[in-house]
Amino acid sequence: MSFELLKMVGDAQKKSAVIDVRSGDTVRVSQKIKEGDKFRIQVFEGTVIRVDRKDSHTERIVVRKVTSGVGVEKSFLMHSPLVEKVEIVRRGKVRRNNLRYLRERSGKSARLTQKDFDRHAVNALPKEEAPAEEAKTEEKAEA
């Protein structure tokens, strides 16, 4: 009983569509930042070193980049209303989910081998066609 209720609440809070982000991807995350009473968009680009709780309403990615010789890691909740957009820039070839070993590496040894992929197809969000199809079937039933 309570598990079903939690799942119902979680599904209600979940964004309708989120792109498929994997470890090793280089992503560009657009995040809303509130300053006073204004909002602005801040872009953070880096390598995804971890994906947690895939296909859940608490799905999270950890993105790492090196800025001025200092490693910076940020964690983003994929279904958060503050995350505007996640765009995959390139796909890396990796064989594990947690890429913590990249923290100790620098320069060429920290690079990942690039994998071929269709950038436009991956970044396109799936359209919600189910409600539109239901409306069409109702119109046909009425006619």
How far apart are the C-alpha atoms of 79 and 10, rounded to whole Å? 10
| pTM for the whole structure | 0.74
Give the chain's mean pLDDT: 81
Residue linked to tokens 């992503």: 27
Residue 22: name the closest of 59, 60, 48, 55 by CA.
Answer: 48
The helix (H) or strand (E) run that includes residue 12 is helix 2-13
CA distances from 74 to 28, 47, 48, 71, 124 (A): 12, 10, 10, 10, 24
The helix (H) or strand (E) run that includes residue 139 is helix 130-142
pLDDT at 129 over 60: no
Residue linked to tokens 């930042």: 33
State whether CATH 2.30.30 applies to domain 2-142.
yes
The 10s digit of each residue's pLDDT in 84-105 is 889 999 998 989 898 998 888 8
The 10s digit of each residue's pLDDT in 47-96 is 999 999 888 888 899 999 998 888 999 999 988 889 988 999 999 898 98
